[in-house]
Amino acid sequence: MRVSMTAFPYSGGFTLKVNRNGRPETVEVTADGEGFCSQAGALLLTNLCDRLGLTKALGEALAPTRQRQSVHDDGEILRNLIVTLAQGGEHLSDQAALRDQSTLFGEVASDATAFRAIERIGPAELEGIKAARKLARERAFEAAEDVRLLYVAATRAAEELVVARQAAKPNKSPWHAFEPWLDEHGIPLSLVPAAPPERERLQRTAESLRDEAARAAAAPEPGDPAAPTRREPTPV
Protein backbone atom coordinates (compact mmCIF):
# COMPACT_ATOMS: atom_id res chain seq x y z
CA MET A 1 0.00 0.00 0.00
CA ARG A 2 1.29 3.44 -0.94
CA VAL A 3 0.77 6.38 1.41
CA SER A 4 1.47 9.98 0.44
CA MET A 5 3.38 11.69 3.26
CA THR A 6 1.52 14.94 2.59
CA ALA A 7 -1.73 13.22 3.54
CA PHE A 8 -0.94 13.12 7.27
CA PRO A 9 -3.20 15.78 8.82
CA TYR A 10 -2.91 17.16 12.34
CA SER A 11 -6.03 15.97 14.08
CA GLY A 12 -5.55 17.88 17.33
CA GLY A 13 -6.02 14.69 19.34
CA PHE A 14 -6.17 10.93 19.28
CA THR A 15 -8.36 8.03 20.35
CA LEU A 16 -7.30 5.10 22.52
CA LYS A 17 -9.00 1.73 22.62
CA VAL A 18 -8.68 0.35 26.15
CA ASN A 19 -10.09 -2.58 28.10
CA ARG A 20 -11.46 -2.05 31.57
CA ASN A 21 -12.50 -5.11 33.58
CA GLY A 22 -13.13 -7.06 30.40
CA ARG A 23 -15.16 -4.26 28.81
CA PRO A 24 -13.83 -2.38 25.77
CA GLU A 25 -13.76 1.39 26.25
CA THR A 26 -12.75 4.35 24.15
CA VAL A 27 -10.71 7.23 25.55
CA GLU A 28 -10.65 10.34 23.38
CA VAL A 29 -7.83 12.82 23.99
CA THR A 30 -8.36 16.23 22.38
CA ALA A 31 -6.95 19.68 22.84
CA ASP A 32 -10.21 21.52 22.16
CA GLY A 33 -12.75 19.53 24.21
CA GLU A 34 -15.22 21.17 26.55
CA GLY A 35 -15.59 18.31 29.03
CA PHE A 36 -13.14 17.65 31.85
CA CYS A 37 -12.24 14.46 33.68
CA SER A 38 -9.87 14.76 36.62
CA GLN A 39 -9.09 11.02 36.60
CA ALA A 40 -8.24 10.58 32.91
CA GLY A 41 -4.54 10.17 33.65
CA ALA A 42 -5.29 7.64 36.38
CA LEU A 43 -7.37 5.61 33.94
CA LEU A 44 -4.52 5.51 31.43
CA LEU A 45 -2.09 4.41 34.16
CA THR A 46 -4.53 1.71 35.27
CA ASN A 47 -4.80 0.33 31.76
CA LEU A 48 -1.04 0.54 31.32
CA CYS A 49 -0.57 -1.73 34.35
CA ASP A 50 -3.02 -4.20 32.84
CA ARG A 51 -1.48 -4.18 29.36
CA LEU A 52 2.06 -4.64 30.66
CA GLY A 53 0.95 -7.64 32.69
CA LEU A 54 1.80 -5.97 36.00
CA THR A 55 -1.69 -6.45 37.44
CA LYS A 56 -1.70 -10.17 36.67
CA ALA A 57 1.85 -10.69 37.95
CA LEU A 58 1.06 -8.90 41.23
CA GLY A 59 -1.94 -11.16 41.73
CA GLU A 60 0.20 -14.23 41.12
CA ALA A 61 2.75 -12.99 43.68
CA LEU A 62 0.09 -12.94 46.41
CA ALA A 63 -1.82 -16.03 45.25
CA PRO A 64 -0.10 -18.48 47.69
CA THR A 65 -1.28 -16.37 50.66
CA ARG A 66 -4.95 -16.28 49.68
CA GLN A 67 -7.01 -18.45 52.02
CA ARG A 68 -10.44 -17.88 50.54
CA GLN A 69 -12.02 -16.68 47.33
CA SER A 70 -12.65 -12.94 47.21
CA VAL A 71 -14.59 -10.64 44.94
CA HIS A 72 -11.51 -8.48 44.47
CA ASP A 73 -8.39 -9.76 42.73
CA ASP A 74 -5.15 -9.17 44.65
CA GLY A 75 -3.47 -7.82 41.54
CA GLU A 76 -6.20 -5.23 41.04
CA ILE A 77 -6.02 -4.22 44.71
CA LEU A 78 -2.27 -3.58 44.48
CA ARG A 79 -2.66 -1.89 41.11
CA ASN A 80 -5.23 0.54 42.53
CA LEU A 81 -2.85 1.30 45.40
CA ILE A 82 -0.10 2.04 42.87
CA VAL A 83 -2.39 4.41 40.95
CA THR A 84 -3.42 6.08 44.21
CA LEU A 85 0.23 6.67 45.14
CA ALA A 86 0.94 8.04 41.65
CA GLN A 87 -1.86 10.55 42.17
CA GLY A 88 -0.29 11.78 45.38
CA GLY A 89 -2.24 9.63 47.82
CA GLU A 90 -0.67 8.82 51.18
CA HIS A 91 -3.32 6.71 52.95
CA LEU A 92 -5.56 3.77 52.10
CA SER A 93 -8.54 6.08 52.39
CA ASP A 94 -7.21 8.07 49.41
CA GLN A 95 -8.52 5.27 47.20
CA ALA A 96 -11.85 7.04 47.52
CA ALA A 97 -10.83 9.12 44.49
CA LEU A 98 -10.98 5.92 42.41
CA ARG A 99 -13.90 4.38 44.26
CA ASP A 100 -16.08 7.40 43.55
CA GLN A 101 -15.72 6.85 39.78
CA SER A 102 -16.73 3.22 39.38
CA THR A 103 -17.61 3.86 35.73
CA LEU A 104 -13.91 4.29 35.01
CA PHE A 105 -12.26 2.02 37.54
CA GLY A 106 -14.89 -0.61 38.30
CA GLU A 107 -15.52 -1.78 41.85
CA VAL A 108 -12.58 -0.72 44.02
CA ALA A 109 -11.87 -2.75 47.15
CA SER A 110 -12.61 -1.27 50.54
CA ASP A 111 -9.83 0.08 52.73
CA ALA A 112 -10.12 -2.95 55.02
CA THR A 113 -9.75 -5.37 52.10
CA ALA A 114 -6.73 -3.47 50.78
CA PHE A 115 -5.17 -3.50 54.27
CA ARG A 116 -5.57 -7.29 54.53
CA ALA A 117 -3.87 -7.70 51.15
CA ILE A 118 -0.90 -5.60 52.30
CA GLU A 119 -0.74 -7.53 55.57
CA ARG A 120 -0.25 -10.78 53.65
CA ILE A 121 2.93 -9.54 51.96
CA GLY A 122 5.96 -11.35 53.38
CA PRO A 123 9.56 -11.74 52.19
CA ALA A 124 8.60 -14.29 49.51
CA GLU A 125 5.68 -12.18 48.27
CA LEU A 126 7.91 -9.12 48.21
CA GLU A 127 10.33 -10.91 45.91
CA GLY A 128 7.39 -11.82 43.69
CA ILE A 129 6.33 -8.18 43.57
CA LYS A 130 9.87 -7.16 42.59
CA ALA A 131 9.84 -9.76 39.81
CA ALA A 132 6.47 -8.46 38.60
CA ARG A 133 7.83 -4.92 38.47
CA LYS A 134 10.89 -6.10 36.54
CA LEU A 135 8.70 -7.94 34.03
CA ALA A 136 6.52 -4.87 33.50
CA ARG A 137 9.57 -2.64 32.99
CA GLU A 138 11.00 -5.03 30.38
CA ARG A 139 7.71 -5.14 28.49
CA ALA A 140 7.48 -1.34 28.65
CA PHE A 141 10.98 -0.99 27.19
CA GLU A 142 10.12 -3.47 24.42
CA ALA A 143 6.93 -1.57 23.58
CA ALA A 144 8.82 1.74 23.57
CA GLU A 145 11.42 0.28 21.20
CA ASP A 146 8.66 -0.90 18.85
CA VAL A 147 7.19 2.62 18.84
CA ARG A 148 10.60 4.14 18.20
CA LEU A 149 11.25 1.85 15.23
CA LEU A 150 7.77 2.56 13.88
CA TYR A 151 8.37 6.31 14.20
CA VAL A 152 11.70 6.05 12.36
CA ALA A 153 10.13 3.98 9.58
CA ALA A 154 7.16 6.33 9.20
CA THR A 155 9.09 9.61 9.21
CA ARG A 156 12.12 8.83 7.04
CA ALA A 157 10.17 8.70 3.78
CA ALA A 158 10.49 11.94 1.80
CA GLU A 159 7.40 11.73 -0.41
CA GLU A 160 5.64 8.43 0.02
CA LEU A 161 5.74 5.29 2.09
CA VAL A 162 5.00 1.73 0.96
CA VAL A 163 3.49 -0.36 3.75
CA ALA A 164 3.18 -4.15 3.65
CA ARG A 165 -0.04 -5.28 5.35
CA GLN A 166 -1.06 -8.69 6.64
CA ALA A 167 -4.72 -9.13 5.85
CA ALA A 168 -4.97 -12.50 7.60
CA LYS A 169 -3.28 -11.34 10.83
CA PRO A 170 -3.46 -7.52 10.99
CA ASN A 171 -2.53 -7.45 14.70
CA LYS A 172 0.79 -9.12 13.89
CA SER A 173 1.84 -6.26 11.64
CA PRO A 174 3.93 -3.45 13.20
CA TRP A 175 1.65 -1.06 11.32
CA HIS A 176 -1.57 -2.32 12.96
CA ALA A 177 -1.98 0.94 14.90
CA PHE A 178 -2.43 2.72 11.55
CA GLU A 179 -4.89 0.20 10.09
CA PRO A 180 -8.01 2.46 10.29
CA TRP A 181 -6.08 5.41 8.86
CA LEU A 182 -4.59 3.27 6.08
CA ASP A 183 -8.08 2.01 5.15
CA GLU A 184 -9.20 5.59 4.60
CA HIS A 185 -6.13 7.25 3.08
CA GLY A 186 -3.89 4.50 1.71
CA ILE A 187 -3.71 3.63 -1.98
CA PRO A 188 -3.66 -0.14 -2.56
CA LEU A 189 -0.94 -1.37 -4.89
CA SER A 190 -1.75 -4.04 -7.45
CA LEU A 191 1.05 -6.56 -7.17
CA VAL A 192 1.16 -9.54 -9.52
CA PRO A 193 2.44 -12.66 -7.75
CA ALA A 194 5.49 -14.08 -9.42
CA ALA A 195 7.16 -17.41 -8.97
CA PRO A 196 10.63 -17.22 -7.42
CA PRO A 197 13.52 -17.80 -9.82
CA GLU A 198 14.67 -21.38 -10.04
CA ARG A 199 17.74 -22.14 -8.04
CA GLU A 200 20.94 -22.73 -9.95
CA ARG A 201 21.91 -26.35 -9.55
CA LEU A 202 25.54 -27.44 -9.55
CA GLN A 203 26.19 -30.06 -12.19
CA ARG A 204 28.20 -32.36 -9.98
CA THR A 205 28.06 -36.07 -9.48
CA ALA A 206 29.40 -38.30 -6.76
CA GLU A 207 32.18 -39.38 -9.06
CA SER A 208 33.29 -35.81 -9.87
CA LEU A 209 33.33 -34.95 -6.17
CA ARG A 210 35.53 -37.97 -5.42
CA ASP A 211 37.96 -36.88 -8.16
CA GLU A 212 38.17 -33.35 -6.73
CA ALA A 213 38.80 -34.71 -3.26
CA ALA A 214 41.54 -37.00 -4.58
CA ARG A 215 43.28 -34.13 -6.41
CA ALA A 216 43.13 -31.97 -3.29
CA ALA A 217 44.64 -34.76 -1.20
CA ALA A 218 47.43 -35.35 -3.73
CA ALA A 219 48.36 -31.67 -3.97
CA PRO A 220 51.72 -30.90 -2.26
CA GLU A 221 51.65 -29.05 1.04
CA PRO A 222 53.10 -25.51 1.22
CA GLY A 223 56.88 -25.73 1.79
CA ASP A 224 57.14 -29.08 -0.01
CA PRO A 225 59.97 -29.01 -2.61
CA ALA A 226 57.50 -30.44 -5.10
CA ALA A 227 55.17 -27.52 -4.58
CA PRO A 228 55.29 -24.84 -7.30
CA THR A 229 57.20 -21.76 -6.19
CA ARG A 230 56.02 -18.24 -6.70
CA ARG A 231 58.18 -16.36 -9.21
CA GLU A 232 59.08 -12.87 -8.05
CA PRO A 233 58.62 -10.09 -10.64
CA THR A 234 61.79 -8.87 -12.36
CA PRO A 235 62.39 -5.16 -11.66
CA VAL A 236 62.50 -3.01 -14.78
pLDDT tens-digit readout, 13-72 = 555 555 555 555 566 666 666 655 567 788 888 988 998 999 999 999 999 998 877 788
Contacts of 143 (CB under 8 A, 6+ apart): 52
DSSP 8-state assignment for residue 187:
B
CA distance 35 to 30: 10
Q: Cα–Cα distance between 109 and 93 in angstroms, integer? A: 11
Indicate the pTM of the whole model: 0.57
Domain chopping of the chain, boundaries:
2-185
pLDDT in tens, 71-109: 889 999 999 999 999 988 899 899 998 888 887 888 899
